Amino acid sequence: MLDKQLKRRCMLTALVLLGLRLFHLIPVPGVDTGHLAGMMEKNSLLGFLDHVSGNGLSGMSIMALSIGPYITASIVMQLLGEVFPKLKDLQKGKPEERRYFGRMTLGMSAGISLAESGVLALSFMKQRVFLSNIWAVPGILLWSVGSMALAVIGKRVTEDKEHFIGNGISLILLVNILASYPGDIMEYINMVMLGPGNRAMPATLSIAGVTLLFGFTVYIHCVEKKIPVVYTGKVAAGRSSVSTLPVRLCPGGVVPVIFASGLLSFAVLGLQLAGKEGTFAAGLLNAANWFHTGMQEYTLGVALYIVLIFLFSFYYSGMAFSPRETAETLKKNGGLIPNVRPGKPTERYLRKEMRKMIAAGAAALTVIAVIPIALSGVFGVSRLSFFGTSVLITVSVIMETKKDIAMQMRAGEYMAKARKGGLFYGEKALSASR
């Protein structure tokens, strides 16, 4: 049961998220929304950006970019940390070094938001979405400021555990995704379930499919391989002890899918900016064409999407779980994997096991991401294209927040027992620890 302080943090976090959603209702001036709707219908990959922004793009809100630039900046900074060791040291260093790394990430986020705003504005100018090109200037400024405001507030929520709960950036993304669900559901109901003929079977299959999709997503987030580790010597006070080293099925989480979808989405914007929207390349990047009957030549696009998911899964997961660092830590602490020698043999064994798990995880992510795209092509419902990605983000953030709340509850129970004298002599131990 939640204690009063934890309830207060949950309520305050919810109020902040609700307040941020209200800003999505503020439109950018000087936009022809009817023209924009037609542009969004032409390419479903732009729907991914719309989902991430909580329909901010289709509504031309000042929050059209949402938290996307900060997420991109965070991933890029982590990738750069693998190339430049000093950046990695800052990320894992003392509190002041981590704060400096955070400010660098915010700075990169500002640059990315300006660049994305500029590309978006130029693309809209070319498509005549703006009533006049002069409106592109306030659009760029408002989109950039809106994105940075979300990043700063989200970062504040993450860091201020005294007043808030969970990861602020992830929660903002979750709320945006949840806001896009009603539109997806209504479009599917209107086009598939309320169409001519007997619709009982499509309705039943839809409910069963969504249930299975959510269930499978929860399952892959929970699956992990537990490698047995035996500790000897000083670590176990002269006695052997057995522990396990968990290797997750998806060490990179939902990041590979987000990065693959985002990369293709901005490639679409780039083609529109270059006036190439009617070319084969533009059709190839349109997810609505991948499984459309009579457009088999565009199936190559889904192959590109799958390759990107696998590439990002292997690359990003290698950052989340380092076999070399893990092997070194085990060796220093007297940890041994049965039938595997310490040092390099342990590193090779861990890398082999990790690659197996990543391959299986990338395949699972691909299934979740591609099935809704296939259904959208069959039924002609473009908004369904990235429903799988939305489900991945939803499940990932909810499970992450659930773990955070559970940890806070355990900490609260510990403090309550300490005050009552049931742990370390109650108030005396509590005051001594201070």
* Contacts within 8 Å (CB) and 24+ apart, 415-423: 416/3
Sign of the four-CA dihedral 371, 374, 380, 385: positive
pLDDT band, residue 13 (cuts 50/70/90)? very high
Residues 6+ apart with CB under 8 A from 365: 220, 250, 254, 256, 257, 309, 313, 392
Tokens standing for 156? 């504040």
| pLDDT, tens only, 140-154 | 999 999 999 999 999
Residues 6+ apart with CB under 8 A from 141: 117
Which regions of 300-413 does DSSP assign to beta strands (E)? 335-336
CA–CA distance, 75 with 230 (Å, rounded to integer):
35
Strand partners, 230: 242, 336
CA–CA distance, 337 with 350 (Å, rounded to integer):
10
pLDDT band, residue 42 (cuts 50/70/90)? low
Query: Of the ranges 35-44, 298-307, 329-338, which one carries the lowest mean pLDDT score?
Result: 35-44
Q: Domain containing 407: what range?
A: 4-433
Taking CA atoms, 401 is separated from 12, 71, 259, 317, in Å, by 15, 18, 22, 21
Q: Is the pLDDT at 427 greater than 70, yes or no?
A: no
Q: Is the pLDDT at 66 greater than 80, yes or no?
A: yes
| pLDDT, tens only, 292-308 | 777 778 888 889 999 99
Phi, psi of 130 (to 5 degrees): -75, 140
Give the rounded percent of residues in the chain with a pLDDT score beyond 90.
Answer: 18
Question: What SS3 class is residue 333?
Answer: coil
AA letter at 33: T
Most confident range (mean pLDDT) of 192-201, 206-215, 300-309 is: 300-309
Structural domains counted in the chain? 1
CA–CA distance, 206 with 68 (Å, rounded to integer):
30
CATH number, domain with residue 423:
1.10.3370.10
Q: Is the pLDDT at 161 greater than 50, yes or no?
A: yes
What is the reported pLDDT for 385?
66
Tokens standing for 308? 């990107």
What is the reported pLDDT for 138?
92
Residue with the larger pLDDT of the pair 52 and 196:
52
CA 301, chain centre distance (Å) = 22
The 10 Å CB-count burial string (b at 16+, else e) for 253-292 is bbbbbbbbbbebbbbbbebbbeeebeeeebbbbbbbbbbb
| pLDDT, tens only, 228-278 | 888 875 444 555 567 888 888 887 778 888 888 878 877 877 777 777 777
Q: How many helices (H) and strands (E) does the chain have?
A: 16, 3
CA–CA distance, 389 with 376 (Å, rounded to integer):
14
